[in-house]
Homo-oligomer: A and B are copies of this chain.
Amino acid sequence: MAVSLGELAVRYGCELRGDPDLCISAVGRLDSDEPVLGFVASAAYRQALRETRIAAVILDARLAGDAPVPALVCANPHATYARIASQLHPWPAAEPGIHATAQVHPGAQVHPTAHVAAFALIEDGVSVGARCFVGPYSQLGTGAQLAADVRLVARVTVCSGVVLGERCVVHPGAVLGSDGFGYARDGAAWVKVPQVGTVRVGQDVEIGANTTIDRGALGDTLIADGVKLDNQIQIAHNVVIGAHTAVAACVGIAGSTRIGERCMIGGGTGITGHISIGDDIIITGFGMITRSLDKPGMYSSVIPVEEVRHWRRIVGRLKRIDSMAARLAALEAAAGIAAAPQQEDSND
């Protein structure tokens, strides 16, 4: 699909510098040899911009003077690029209809504009909205509901009663509504606690490959509008994630924890159960969160690798830091310097 720069400028509210009839059919990098549309979102790429030979670029007014090619000038080049790229590279069209190999229960309601792919399985009481794409091997358990324009890319398991809002996208291998990890101890053994809640997902949520979201034990697990979840995330029962929060890959969130709006959780982070993370909190990758945080800001506990011999010395010292502190106090006493306990606690 090719679109002229003039059309793009009008549709996405850009100022056009260059030929409005120039047609674009693909996006690409600044250093591409193809006649693609690129973008620059940072002055760090100014030199690459000056040398580019692609067809056109999206950028902001500060960089517009450096473009050697036609330019779409706008306030947020990255977002404008994202929208234009989505127009040029849309999801493959899905024909309305149900594949011959799919199994659809007579008690399910599938909108006539929806596509149900090969080997999909739709159980009793399910509702599938307009223009949904139920990909191959996707299963919708009893009573699950997909609002309009939901896309289950492939092999998505949506367990009974799970609700997905409009325009959600779920990638292969994701499991929504599996049982939470709930047991009562009885002597040495564990007695399973039935997980009778479900999962409710808002609009415009994207869920990555092999991510798992457990259903609530009592009450529901909630994922609010606009949340973005990367691959291989684990979300335990009764977790609540606020609107527009983005969670990178390999994060684990334990049961009943609440995360606020517009947070950004770095990859590999672990969040313990039954705590509360406020709005606008950023966690760097590999963070370990064991208590509630409410002050907006950026938090970390990452320890970057060192050469192993040096690292082992550091760990050996760390494991004896308590005796180092005692030796320090003894020296202070010998020198007649008073330790300042209130200062010691200031960073707690």
Contacts and interface: CB of A to CB of B under 8 A. Distances in A.
B291 A288 contact: no
A276 interface: no
Interface stretch (A15-23, A42-50, A64-72, A247-255): A247-255
Nearest to A195: B89
Given A139-B155, A347-B310, A254 B285 contact: yes
A327 B328 contact: yes
Nearest to A75: B186
B304 A291 contact: yes
A331 B332 contact: yes
A321 B319 CA distance: 11
A1 interface: no
A299 to B, nearest CB: 4
A76 to B, nearest CB: 6
Nearest to A167: B192
Contacts of A202: none
Contacts of A159: 154, 172
Interface stretch (A108-116, A126-134, A264-272): A264-272
A302 interface: yes
A193 B82 contact: yes
Contact of A218 (B27, B291, B322): B27
Given A103-B101, A183-B228, A173 B157 contact: yes
B212 A232 contact: yes
B103 A118 contact: yes
Contacts of A290: 285, 302, 304
A254 B248 contact: yes
B334 A334 contact: no
Nearest to A171: B178
B76 A29 contact: no
A79 B186 CA distance: 6
A121 to B, nearest CB: 5
B317 A322 contact: yes
Contacts of A183: 82, 228, 246
Nearest to A214: B231
20 contacts: A29-B219, A78-B193, A79-B185, A86-B192, A119-B119, A154-B159, A179-B208, A181-B208, A189-B204, A230-B236, A248-B254, A252-B267, A270-B286, A297-B308, A299-B308, A300-B306, A302-B315, A306-B319, A316-B348, A327-B339
List 5 A-B pairs, minimum CB-CB distance, nearest first.
A78-B184, A178-B209, A299-B305, A79-B186, A268-B270
